[in-house]
Amino acid sequence: MEYDYVIVGAGSAGCVLANRLSEDPGLSVALVEAGGKDDKLEIRMPAGFPKLFRTGYDWNFTTAKQSEMSGRELYWPRGRVLGGSSSMNAQMWVRGCQQDYDQWGIPGWAYDDVLPYFHRAEHRVGSNRGGVYGTSGPLYISELRSPNVTTAAFLAACEELGMPRLAELNGRSNEGYSPTPPSPRTGAGGGARPTPTCARPRTAPTCTSSPTPR
Protein backbone atom coordinates (compact mmCIF):
# COMPACT_ATOMS: atom_id res chain seq x y z
CA MET A 1 0.00 0.00 0.00
CA GLU A 2 1.12 3.53 -0.73
CA TYR A 3 -0.16 6.65 1.01
CA ASP A 4 0.26 10.36 0.52
CA TYR A 5 0.91 10.70 4.26
CA VAL A 6 1.95 8.21 6.92
CA ILE A 7 1.57 9.56 10.46
CA VAL A 8 3.52 7.66 13.11
CA GLY A 9 1.91 7.94 16.53
CA ALA A 10 -1.82 8.30 17.24
CA GLY A 11 -1.43 10.62 20.20
CA SER A 12 -3.06 14.03 20.48
CA ALA A 13 -1.16 15.58 17.57
CA GLY A 14 -1.28 12.48 15.37
CA CYS A 15 -5.05 12.06 15.74
CA VAL A 16 -5.75 15.70 14.95
CA LEU A 17 -3.38 15.71 11.98
CA ALA A 18 -4.87 12.52 10.52
CA ASN A 19 -8.37 13.88 10.97
CA ARG A 20 -7.60 17.18 9.28
CA LEU A 21 -5.66 15.67 6.37
CA SER A 22 -8.27 13.02 5.67
CA GLU A 23 -10.96 15.68 5.29
CA ASP A 24 -9.56 15.97 1.76
CA PRO A 25 -11.00 12.97 -0.16
CA GLY A 26 -8.15 13.24 -2.64
CA LEU A 27 -5.54 12.31 -0.03
CA SER A 28 -4.71 8.90 1.38
CA VAL A 29 -3.52 8.93 4.99
CA ALA A 30 -2.34 6.09 7.23
CA LEU A 31 -2.22 6.53 11.02
CA VAL A 32 0.15 4.10 12.75
CA GLU A 33 0.12 3.51 16.51
CA ALA A 34 2.39 1.24 18.57
CA GLY A 35 -0.31 0.65 21.19
CA GLY A 36 -3.77 -0.81 20.95
CA LYS A 37 -7.31 0.49 20.73
CA ASP A 38 -8.75 2.87 23.31
CA ASP A 39 -11.71 0.68 24.24
CA LYS A 40 -10.72 -0.02 27.85
CA LEU A 41 -13.20 1.12 30.50
CA GLU A 42 -10.50 2.92 32.49
CA ILE A 43 -9.85 5.14 29.46
CA ARG A 44 -13.50 6.03 29.01
CA MET A 45 -14.04 6.63 32.74
CA PRO A 46 -11.92 9.57 34.02
CA ALA A 47 -11.57 8.22 37.56
CA GLY A 48 -10.02 5.01 36.26
CA PHE A 49 -6.86 6.56 34.81
CA PRO A 50 -4.46 5.35 37.59
CA LYS A 51 -5.36 1.77 36.66
CA LEU A 52 -3.60 2.33 33.32
CA PHE A 53 -0.23 3.12 34.87
CA ARG A 54 2.55 0.57 34.33
CA THR A 55 0.34 -1.53 32.05
CA GLY A 56 0.47 -2.29 28.35
CA TYR A 57 -1.21 1.08 27.77
CA ASP A 58 1.78 2.92 29.24
CA TRP A 59 5.31 3.40 27.88
CA ASN A 60 6.36 3.44 31.56
CA PHE A 61 9.12 6.02 31.24
CA THR A 62 11.27 7.43 34.00
CA THR A 63 13.09 10.75 33.99
CA ALA A 64 16.82 11.26 34.24
CA LYS A 65 18.10 11.51 37.81
CA GLN A 66 17.04 14.82 39.32
CA SER A 67 19.85 16.57 41.18
CA GLU A 68 17.32 18.76 43.02
CA MET A 69 15.57 15.62 44.35
CA SER A 70 18.57 13.75 45.77
CA GLY A 71 19.20 11.98 42.49
CA ARG A 72 15.78 10.34 42.31
CA GLU A 73 14.23 9.23 39.05
CA LEU A 74 10.55 10.07 38.59
CA TYR A 75 7.93 7.84 37.03
CA TRP A 76 6.64 9.51 33.87
CA PRO A 77 3.51 7.84 32.44
CA ARG A 78 3.07 8.17 28.67
CA GLY A 79 0.18 6.67 26.74
CA ARG A 80 0.83 3.71 24.46
CA VAL A 81 -2.69 3.58 23.00
CA LEU A 82 -4.94 5.42 20.57
CA GLY A 83 -5.09 8.96 21.91
CA GLY A 84 -1.64 8.70 23.47
CA SER A 85 -1.20 10.34 26.84
CA SER A 86 -4.53 12.14 26.45
CA SER A 87 -6.16 8.73 26.99
CA MET A 88 -4.62 8.37 30.45
CA ASN A 89 -4.52 11.86 31.95
CA ALA A 90 -8.00 11.99 33.56
CA GLN A 91 -8.97 14.43 30.79
CA MET A 92 -7.19 17.33 32.47
CA TRP A 93 -6.80 20.32 30.13
CA VAL A 94 -3.46 22.01 30.82
CA ARG A 95 -1.91 23.56 27.74
CA GLY A 96 1.18 25.19 29.24
CA CYS A 97 2.06 28.77 30.07
CA GLN A 98 3.78 31.43 27.99
CA GLN A 99 7.28 30.67 29.27
CA ASP A 100 6.97 27.01 28.25
CA TYR A 101 6.79 28.01 24.60
CA ASP A 102 8.84 31.21 24.49
CA GLN A 103 11.90 29.60 26.09
CA TRP A 104 12.19 27.16 23.17
CA GLY A 105 13.25 30.04 20.95
CA ILE A 106 11.84 28.31 17.86
CA PRO A 107 10.37 30.57 15.16
CA GLY A 108 6.63 30.00 14.84
CA TRP A 109 6.36 28.23 18.20
CA ALA A 110 6.25 31.18 20.59
CA TYR A 111 3.22 31.40 22.86
CA ASP A 112 1.52 34.08 20.80
CA ASP A 113 2.06 31.97 17.68
CA VAL A 114 0.36 28.83 19.03
CA LEU A 115 -2.35 30.50 21.14
CA PRO A 116 -4.74 31.08 18.19
CA TYR A 117 -4.65 27.35 17.43
CA PHE A 118 -5.56 26.47 21.00
CA HIS A 119 -8.48 28.89 20.75
CA ARG A 120 -9.62 27.27 17.51
CA ALA A 121 -9.65 23.86 19.21
CA GLU A 122 -11.40 24.89 22.43
CA HIS A 123 -15.11 25.08 23.25
CA ARG A 124 -15.25 26.46 26.76
CA VAL A 125 -18.34 25.73 28.83
CA GLY A 126 -18.36 27.73 32.05
CA SER A 127 -16.23 30.61 33.26
CA ASN A 128 -13.88 32.26 30.81
CA ARG A 129 -12.36 35.19 32.66
CA GLY A 130 -10.13 37.26 30.44
CA GLY A 131 -11.12 35.30 27.35
CA VAL A 132 -8.51 32.65 28.13
CA TYR A 133 -10.32 29.93 26.16
CA GLY A 134 -11.81 29.60 22.72
CA THR A 135 -15.55 29.04 22.61
CA SER A 136 -16.43 27.52 19.23
CA GLY A 137 -13.97 24.67 18.68
CA PRO A 138 -14.58 20.91 18.77
CA LEU A 139 -12.90 20.20 22.14
CA TYR A 140 -15.17 20.88 25.10
CA ILE A 141 -13.45 22.36 28.18
CA SER A 142 -15.75 22.28 31.20
CA GLU A 143 -15.76 23.00 34.92
CA LEU A 144 -15.37 20.30 37.54
CA ARG A 145 -18.85 18.92 38.10
CA SER A 146 -18.14 17.10 41.36
CA PRO A 147 -15.05 18.65 42.99
CA ASN A 148 -13.34 16.39 45.50
CA VAL A 149 -13.33 17.58 49.12
CA THR A 150 -9.58 16.98 49.16
CA THR A 151 -9.20 19.35 46.24
CA ALA A 152 -11.13 22.04 48.12
CA ALA A 153 -8.90 21.56 51.18
CA PHE A 154 -5.77 21.81 49.03
CA LEU A 155 -6.97 25.04 47.39
CA ALA A 156 -7.81 26.47 50.80
CA ALA A 157 -4.30 25.63 51.99
CA CYS A 158 -2.84 27.45 48.98
CA GLU A 159 -4.87 30.51 49.91
CA GLU A 160 -3.68 30.37 53.52
CA LEU A 161 -0.09 30.33 52.30
CA GLY A 162 -0.70 33.53 50.37
CA MET A 163 -0.38 32.05 46.91
CA PRO A 164 -2.17 33.96 44.12
CA ARG A 165 -5.49 32.56 42.95
CA LEU A 166 -5.56 32.24 39.15
CA ALA A 167 -8.73 33.47 37.47
CA GLU A 168 -8.30 30.65 34.94
CA LEU A 169 -5.69 27.92 34.98
CA ASN A 170 -4.59 28.17 31.35
CA GLY A 171 -3.61 31.81 31.20
CA ARG A 172 -0.22 33.23 30.28
CA SER A 173 1.19 32.45 33.73
CA ASN A 174 0.60 29.35 35.84
CA GLU A 175 2.19 30.74 39.01
CA GLY A 176 -0.61 30.28 41.49
CA TYR A 177 -3.44 27.86 42.16
CA SER A 178 -6.73 26.98 40.50
CA PRO A 179 -8.93 23.94 39.88
CA THR A 180 -7.93 22.03 36.77
CA PRO A 181 -10.57 22.09 34.03
CA PRO A 182 -11.42 18.73 32.43
CA SER A 183 -12.14 18.03 28.77
CA PRO A 184 -14.75 15.25 28.82
CA ARG A 185 -18.22 15.60 27.39
CA THR A 186 -21.38 13.85 28.66
CA GLY A 187 -19.25 11.89 31.11
CA ALA A 188 -17.20 10.04 28.50
CA GLY A 189 -13.46 10.22 28.02
CA GLY A 190 -12.34 13.38 26.27
CA GLY A 191 -8.86 12.48 25.05
CA ALA A 192 -7.76 12.99 21.48
CA ARG A 193 -9.02 10.11 19.41
CA PRO A 194 -9.22 9.44 15.67
CA THR A 195 -12.97 8.73 15.75
CA PRO A 196 -13.81 11.01 12.80
CA THR A 197 -10.85 9.53 10.98
CA CYS A 198 -12.10 5.99 11.59
CA ALA A 199 -15.29 6.99 9.83
CA ARG A 200 -13.17 7.48 6.72
CA PRO A 201 -11.23 4.17 6.67
CA ARG A 202 -10.47 4.31 2.95
CA THR A 203 -8.70 7.63 3.19
CA ALA A 204 -7.30 7.22 6.70
CA PRO A 205 -6.91 3.64 7.97
CA THR A 206 -5.66 3.31 11.54
CA CYS A 207 -3.08 0.60 12.24
CA THR A 208 -2.80 -0.26 15.93
CA SER A 209 -0.28 -2.51 17.72
CA SER A 210 2.24 -1.48 15.07
CA PRO A 211 5.54 -0.29 16.60
CA THR A 212 7.61 1.67 14.11
CA PRO A 213 11.41 1.55 14.50
CA ARG A 214 13.46 4.61 13.74
pLDDT of residue 89: 83
- Predicted confidence at residue 139, as pLDDT, reads 86
Task: Report pLDDT for 186.
Answer: 45
Decide if pLDDT at 190 tops 70: no
Percent of the chain with pLDDT over 90: 60
Percent of the chain with pLDDT over 70: 91
Q: Which residue has the higher pLDDT, 103 or 195?
A: 103
What average pLDDT does the chain have?
Answer: 87
Q: 137 near 117, Cβ under 8 Å?
A: no
Burial annotation 172-204 (CB, 10 A radius, 16+ → b, else e): eebeebbbebbbbbeeebbbbbbebbbebeebb
Tens-place pLDDT, residues 40-74: 999 888 788 899 999 999 999 999 999 999 999 99
pLDDT band at 213; cut points 50, 70, 90: confident
Report which of residues 193 and 149 the model is more confident about.
149
pLDDT at 210: 85
Give the model's pLDDT for residue 197: 45
